[in-house]
Amino acid sequence: MISNLQKAYVIHSRPYKETSLIVTFLTENKGKITAVAKGAKRKNSRLSGNLEPFQCLSIDYRGKSDLKSLILAEPCEVFEDFFGSENLYSAFYVNELINYLIAQADESIEIFDIYKNCISNLKKNNAIEEILRNFELNILSILGYEINFQSDYVANQPIINGVIYKYSPQSGFSKSDKGYDGKIINEINERKFSKDSLQACKEINRTTINYYFEELNIKSRVFFK
């Protein structure tokens, strides 16, 4: 029997019948997969207590359909708690983004590594805004929606400090009377964030995500208004 043994994180779970769960994982080698964890809600189940989010797991599953059967889920490293409660809420936001943006079985080791590094950083330090903005930018880039912070799409010239630019997700930045100072845009491009460029990056990323994925209903955003 073929083994699908690999590292994974729980992205989402919901009850299934009386004693089971349907769990969505982000896996290292197979992208996002969904599996039935039969009997996982029973106290004596070998899966019980192992299907919590933000814990790196070693999982194995069977099945050829979109809905797999989970046969193994064990921690593969010691669990670290989060730096603070806001870090934890931020991690739930990251999970929602992954769950909504990543297609089923969309294989990408890069996505797994970006996710893993983001969760690890949220557990270790309190630079929450910078961690989230980098995560959003990296995911958008991998999915093919990379934002061009380097040049004005109309003039095809580099972004200039002191010049104001407006942003349109379908095209990019162009000179305008209202918008963002080129200095802020250049800071975002270099990932050298100030307070102002972090706020601008948050607005730009959200505009981009809403434009391309307008059907998203990300509940955890309520914590970051």
Q: Is the pLDDT of residue 218 over 60?
A: yes
Mean pLDDT of 151-161: 95
What is the pLDDT, as a whole number, of residue 172? 96
The pLDDT, as a whole number, for residue 131 is: 97
Give the domain 151-212 fold. Answer: de novo design (two linked rop proteins) (1.20.1440)
> Do 85-145 and 6-75 have the same topology in CATH?
no
Angle ∠(85,83,200) on CA atoms, nearest 5:
75
User: Cα–Cα–Cα angle for 134, 99, 111, nearest 5°?
Assistant: 45
Give the whole-number percent of the chain exceeding pLDDT 90.
Answer: 77
Residue 223 reports pLDDT greater than 50: no
Residue 108: the pLDDT is 78
Longest CA–CA span in the chain (Å) reads: 66
Torsion, CA 135, CA 137, CA 141, CA 142, rounded to 10: 10
Instruction: Kindly indicate the confidence band of residue 219, based on its pLDDT and cuts at 50, 70 and 90.
Output: low
Rounded CA-CA distance 57/43 in Å is 19
Whether the CA torsion 24, 116, 210, 30 is positive or negative: it is: negative
Q: What share of the chain is helix, strand, coil (3-state, %, to 5)?
A: 35, 25, 40
Can you give the residue ranges of every domain in the chain?
6-75, 85-145, 151-212
Q: Which residues pair with 27 in a beta bridge?
A: 8, 31
94-149: pLDDT as tens digits: 999 999 888 866 667 899 999 999 999 999 999 999 999 999 999 999 999 999 99
The torsion angles phi and psi of 99, rounded to 5 degrees, stand at -65, -40
Q: Distance between CA atoms of 145 and 196, rounded to whole angstroms?
A: 23
Average pLDDT for 160-174: 96
Q: E strands of the chain, at which residues?
A: 6-16, 20-27, 31-37, 57-62, 67-75, 151-152, 157-158, 164-168, 172-175, 180-181
Domain 6-75 in CATH 3.30.70.1450: no
Does residue 203 or residue 83 have the better pLDDT? Answer: 203
CATH of 85-145, one of 3.40.309.10, 1.20.1440.120, 3.40.50.1000, 2.60.40.1930: 1.20.1440.120
Please give the structure tokens belonging to residue 122: 């949220």
What band does 38 get if pLDDT is binned at 50, 70 and 90? very high
Cα–Cα separations (whole angstroms), residue 74 to 138, 154, 222: 29, 53, 32
The stretch 34-56 carries a mean pLDDT of 91
Give me the pLDDT at residue 20, please: 95
> How distant, in Å, are the alpha carbons of 11, 98, 117, 146, 153 from that of 170?
29, 22, 29, 11, 11
